[in-house]
Structure 1
Amino acid sequence: MTLARALIKMEKYEAALIAMNTCPVAPNPEPEAIRILPTTKPWIPRKNRSLQDEVSQSPSEDSILERLKGSRLRGALKQAYDVLVELVAATGWDDLLKLRSRIFLMEEEYRAQRTDRRPSDVSEMEQIPLDDHPPPKTGKRLCERWLDQLFMVLFDDMRVYTIYRGEVQHFRGENMPYQRTAREWLILGTLCRRLAHFEEAKEAYRQCVETAFCEEAWQALLEMYTDEGRLAHALTAVTKLLLHQAGHYQTAIYPNVVGRQIFKMIRMHGVERIRTTMMTLNMGAQVDALLQKYLEMVAAQKCLGHDY
């Protein structure tokens, strides 16, 4: 996928698609069916029950959002999806489809051509893997099935995103509040972020955390604020997450999302600026004590940024 990204930057979009098609990408593995014996659910007291995060587990009223397959992509498939998003941003969806049809022979076209050539062997042909047959001499390459399916996943994401933004604009035009559940805001924020619409993603995540506390949404905001260099906003997200972790007896400093982002902020800005911003925000004694553990670890490990 690195080659494909480089070709996109060079505006060689056709070569980028061909490079993607040659990547050895395996489908997402199916989760193993493990039989879990019934047990009594343990009760763990929490220091602050109002911080309990149930947004990620609560069902959404919008079944379309729950069925989006893009959120379940992992590994190489997720990387390939991100490359397709870059291609869409560079060429537009319609031009990307034209480019795909110009250089690739899709599976349905391939089967149709073989059916026309050998009508008596259709039943036998369908039982033979496509890889056992070279593509017809049309000057096109056979599009890998995973890449074809990835186009469909991206199309579904873009369709839902377009509907969502249209609804937002409509409600704003009518001066009416656009209401969603916290779970739906979380899914929409993840969808926007997946499609590289980062401002819309932050808007949805903020709506989510304003509706109910959601650790996943705060983590996403923390990562985006850190990447943007918005130190005060990032430390505000750190405050929410540290208090949540303390309320759930989560005492690990590293590795976790908060630790990685704090160390990243220190590399970008230096520990002294972190301390100054903490004093400006007046985060409270409890948060200062929790954050001090991370700063002490940075000093002990002599990480980049610990001395300035």
Structure 2
Amino acid sequence: MDGPLCLLVVSTLLTLVRSEEVGEIFKATLTNMGHSTVFHGEPIRLTCSVPDLRSTWTHAWFRDGQRLVQAGELTIPSAAVKDAGTYVCRGERRGVGGIIYTPKSLPHDISIDMGEVLLTVSQPVLVGETLVAKCRVRGTPRLTEVYLYKDNVLVSSRSDGMADFTLPNVNLTYQGTYHCMAAWFNRQQNVAKSLGNLVTVKEVVSKPILSLVVNADTKQKDMTLRCTFTFIKPDPAAEVHVYFYRDDKKLEGIARSQKRASLVVLKREGAYRCRARVPSLNLNRWSEPEGYRP
């Protein structure tokens, strides 16, 4: 294949590549205008946006990987069990070489509750943060009593007609299964409880684990200290500084890492430890000591 036909094919392929690149520049953002857990029969309303003032994008919707017929804003007037699932959207528009697609949005889960009372909890919760639990009753009647339980033990209650609970400065003991119970009067006294909602509490920095990597060659004069941990960024500016110690004396060097840091040191007898510090939170976590003897 040569001549004008070849040039036409190459030109078309280049146009398609450029179209894909144009789509990659923009990102689709899914926004839930209501709740992530809704009562059976309640509406679901999701919007999709692509930040591009120069072009008009249409929006395609997917639930559990299957494309839906809806375009634009996704509105379900009366949610049914079949409407539960993981939703994503993407932008689409026609370009010179064909249809241009943005990457799909971050996924958003929608669940359907068949009961009279449901509990939503902020997830996951980091140690030191505030746990927010919201108890909802179908039809929003006037509440007389609301109770919050963790692992079937009463945590808090209120009788002021409100149904939100805030538990500040949480620690790992707050992890467990929560449910709420509500009482309200609507021609007669009503009492119902929600399903359980598992709350996971995570540490910003887990307790580090120090390992000593020693070369079997006795002529090797150095060894490697490795400090391993998990780190969940509470904000974009947060970072971890890692320090190493021998017999509680800080060794030279500092590392910035998201999950593992290492330092090469001379082989010397002693008890080694590492410390992971988040300066912006004044948070320090220490490893257990690891002894070394030549």
Question: Which of the two has higher C-alpha Rg?
Answer: 2
Give your verdict on TM over 0.5: no
For Structure 1 versus Structure 2, the TM-score category normalised by the shorter chain is under 0.3
Structure 1 or 2: more helix by fraction = 1
